[in-house]
Amino acid sequence: MTADADRVLLAHADAVSEELHTTVYTRYLRRSKAGPVAVGDEWSETVSRGCGRTTPVTLTVRAVEGGRRIGPETAIDYEPVEGAPP
């Protein structure tokens, strides 16, 4: 069995930083992306902008530390990329 990663670093457009940095969104990613993860993986997601508005965002895996799977205890950190489209 492959070990769970301690930490996964995701790159994203800087315009959606605030929406990603919530406990709820991190919990959602841990559950929806549970399983194998590798540097370079890209995930097409949506973030809430309030009042029923959403914005599509691409999350790119920049680093995986301590294992090769996202598990329930994997820390998910975010790295904004200035000027990148959501």
Q: What is the pLDDT of residue 14?
A: 83
C-alpha angle with apex 11: 6 to 13, nearest 5 degrees? Answer: 150
Q: What is the pLDDT of residues 6-58, one digit of tens each?
A: 999 999 988 888 888 889 999 999 999 999 999 999 999 998 877 888 889 99
Rounded CA separation 9/31 (Å): 16
pTM as predicted: 0.88
7-81, CATH topology level: Vcp-like ATPase; Chain A, domain 2 (3.10.330)
Q: What is the pLDDT of residue 15?
A: 80
Q: What are the residue boundaries of the structural domains of the chain, listed by start?
A: 7-81
